[in-house]
Structure 1
């Protein structure tokens, strides 16, 4: 990574943040203790809507399910329309942080199973930071021109939240923005931020593969077509896609995260099911990988003498998230002003995780910019890095997003996240980054 050196600057829109922090901390702990699964964010949405209304925002609820949209017009006259977005849903993860406000919540997933629920990706922090920015934008509305559309999106983790809001007429119901802006908490030191122009997060495809065999007794495998062996061959062969079909300068990830077949050790089953995750950062590579998966699955089924063609179903996808180059430069400068000299990093490559935030910009055909802000104690980070030299950008001892131990440091992370969002917003609304 390279740093952007720029001194800190006053941020008038953030005036009053210190006094507001206890309220934001309480909101964060409440949200963290009461996470909700994708598509079930009713309590979270209610808290958001009530908070926005109390600040004078125009509020629309139940957009694309549990989405909440606030609209606020500045008091300094006409100006640009910008979209600020936070996601709201939690994950089916059993929390292991030991925090006094740790989640003990459970929920019912889309398969009807009861699962633990945790904000293991930091969406509680995203909501808190945007709510803080919304409160201060309302308090200082005389100091900025234009319109802010604050989007609190459901179902990001399932990949259908942004699409659901757009399908519910989002583009026709709310002011048209000229830029879409979003941020994500990440496992690096608080007070720092990171972004890049161009591709910033990978595209994702999830597939379910059904392999069909012919079941029978475990003692007479010669009379069967064993889908367990077929599935094992598929899993191993899939590992060759990245190593042998994707160039060394390209990036792709193929993960088989689930393999289910059979119920007893002495019964050869009729079917096996694989669930596959694919991440790519280039449309051509994506096509190569998806075609290779289908070819391998069908070839292994044929080689095993399967009585039926396999079933291959796409169950979800995230688009490639691309930062507008000019917008990314503007955001980088704003973040450097808000967070201080050397605190903004340029990511050397796209992150292989995925986001559906880009669907808003794609729908409007306008620029999007997405950045990361840190949530880890810098001393802890430095200690872990010293204990694991050469381990990469994030030391293995630092819990990453989706870990049951993921837990941003609250006050400092909230402060940095609110300042980051306000500074970036001000670079459009005020025109000079919101500085004196």
Structure 2
């Protein structure tokens, strides 16, 4: 399937405006579930297209594009930024700040490319509204907050999302990544891992740094816990299985000559299999509590922060979309890939009502940038910023329209 030439012509004309809009979103990122200005801009654009958006889940925005009888299909884009200080050097770099849940002020940037997701979805929505004579049915455009904390999809579902829109026959979503602009990566079946994030509070006994014998040092204890946790994947999980365990935060103490009363660290776990997940979580709990007992320390606190479901692409929808994207973008531009250990809450929408879905990745960089060994291109990096913005957004819009119109069809 290839797009009707009317869509391609309209996209070429719209691209400069989309690039400008992308730069606006990049300059003004907001933290998860705090996307107030972002939501207002999305609503303003959608109203300008003649649509009537509504809020769902706080800062979530939804637009239902109705165009007569026919199939119903949904498309989701996420909208939140990250607590990262941008270092891209781009002329439209973020200088935004935000407030974390603990009250801490932090720089904020779109270090995961959600600005491209918003812009691509808005571009697709505009072209659909302008060319109603080319399709029939209903397209549901979902602008979801809070993906980075796994709070957004759940918040929209808790706010009665599926009671407020028609039930679709399929749901689609996409994510920019550090691949070559103009290409997409898509995975049949299991596409993304489950994730669990935990906060650990290590309790000790405070003392002067000159009198360690009067302390139970939570920093030393935490260091032993973290070191031992590195053996969970290497020594408790079979080489045939996949698990990733990362310590992302370690905090303890305020002064070099004071042994503190407590320390804190966080754990992020990625798995594909529920049995492996349960084994890793049990091992983490066992090791943390045993190390505390070995040090004569009070029982530590292990607090779940949030979790992500597995993303499992529907086999039939994926096969059909691979062919359609190959027709539209070129067969060489579509790569069928293995699962990634990243995680997404996108799957919650389909899982909640038993509707199949597909999620894919599209590239954001020039071939030269991808081939440069000194480039730092990974998502969640302060250097993340596509250098082929026009091609990236064009591919995002074309891929979104290809998926949607594969259901909505032609008049």
Q: Report TM bin, short chain.
A: over 0.9
> Residues 139-167 of structure 1: CA distance to partner in whole angstroms, max 9, x if unpaired?
11121121100000111111100100110
Report if the CA contact (8 A) 1:83-1:177 is conserved. Answer: yes
Report if the CA contact (8 A) 2:33-2:151 is conserved. Answer: no
Which position in structure 1 is the counterpart of 2:302? 312
Kindly indicate whether residue 350 of structure 2 is the aligned counterpart of residue 356 of structure 1. no
Residue 212 of structure 1: how far off its partner (Å) = 1.5
Which position in structure 2 is the counterpart of 1:4? none
Aligned length: 410
Kindly indicate whether residue 325 of structure 2 is the aligned counterpart of residue 335 of structure 1. yes
Quote the Cα distance in structure 2 between the aligned partners of 1:199 and 1:166.
Answer: 23
Kindly indicate whether residue 337 of structure 2 is the aligned counterpart of residue 347 of structure 1. yes
Quote the Cα distance in structure 1 between the aligned partners of 2:5 and 2:216.
Answer: 68
Kindly indicate whether residue 222 of structure 2 is the aligned counterpart of residue 231 of structure 1. yes
Report if the CA contact (8 A) 1:11-1:423 is conserved. Answer: no
Kindly indicate whether residue 83 of structure 2 is the aligned counterpart of residue 92 of structure 1. yes
Kindly indicate whether residue 408 of structure 2 is the aligned counterpart of residue 418 of structure 1. no
Residue 309 of structure 1: how far off its partner (Å) = 1.3
When residues 398 and 225 of structure 1 are mapped into structure 2, their CA distance, relative to the original with a 3 A threshold, is: closer
Quote the Cα distance in structure 2 between the aligned partners of 1:428 and 1:175.
Answer: 15
Question: 1:34 aligned to 28, 33, 36, which one?
Answer: 28
Q: TM-score scaled to structure 2, two decimals? A: 0.96
Which position in structure 2 is the counterpart of 1:427? 406
> Residues 339-369 of structure 1: CA distance to partner in whole angstroms, max 9, x if unpaired?
1121101112x21111111110011111110
Question: 2:382 aligned to 379, 394, 404, which one?
Answer: 404
Quote the Cα distance in structure 1 between the aligned partners of 2:83 and 2:209.
Answer: 35
Quote the Cα distance in structure 2 between the aligned partners of 1:261 and 1:104.
Answer: 29
Which position in structure 2 is the counterpart of 1:71? 64
Structure 1 runs not aligned, ≥5 long:
1-6, 389-395
SS at match of 1:317: strand
Quote the Cα distance in structure 2 between the aligned partners of 1:249 and 1:90.
Answer: 35
SS at match of 1:255: strand
> Residues 221-241 of structure 1: CA distance to partner in whole angstroms, max 9, x if unpaired?
223222111111100000000
Which position in structure 2 is the counterpart of 1:375? 364
Report if the CA contact (8 A) 2:53-2:61 is conserved. Answer: yes
Kindly indicate whether residue 247 of structure 2 is the aligned counterpart of residue 253 of structure 1. no
Which position in structure 2 is the counterpart of 1:3? none
Q: TM-score scaled to structure 1, two decimals? A: 0.91
Which position in structure 1 is the counterpart of 2:235? 244
When residues 332 and 11 of structure 1 are mapped into structure 2, their CA distance, relative to the original with a 3 A threshold, is: farther
User: What RMSD, in angstroms, separates the aligned Cα atoms of the two structures?
Assistant: 1.6
For structure 1, which segment, 272-281 or 129-138, has the greater mean C-alpha deviation from structure 2 after superposition? 272-281
Residue 11 of structure 1: how far off its partner (Å) = 5.1
Residue 243 of structure 1: how far off its partner (Å) = 0.3
The list of structure 1 runs, each at least 4 consecutive aligned residues, that deviate by more than 4 angstroms after superposition, is: 7-12
Report if the CA contact (8 A) 1:8-1:341 is conserved. Answer: no
Question: 2:210 aligned to 206, 210, 219, which one?
Answer: 219
Which position in structure 1 is the counterpart of 2:50? 56
Question: 1:276 aligned to 245, 251, 267, which one?
Answer: 267
SS at match of 1:15: helix
Kindly indicate whether residue 142 of structure 2 is the aligned counterpart of residue 163 of structure 1. no
Quote the Cα distance in structure 1 between the aligned partners of 2:231 and 2:6.
Answer: 54
Question: 1:14 aligned to 8, 14, 23, which one?
Answer: 8
Residue 24 of structure 1: how far off its partner (Å) = 0.7
Report if the CA contact (8 A) 1:207-1:277 is conserved. Answer: yes
Report if the CA contact (8 A) 1:10-1:338 is conserved. Answer: no
Structure 2 runs not aligned, ≥5 long:
none
SS at match of 1:175: coil
Quote the Cα distance in structure 1 between the aligned partners of 2:101 and 2:77.
Answer: 23
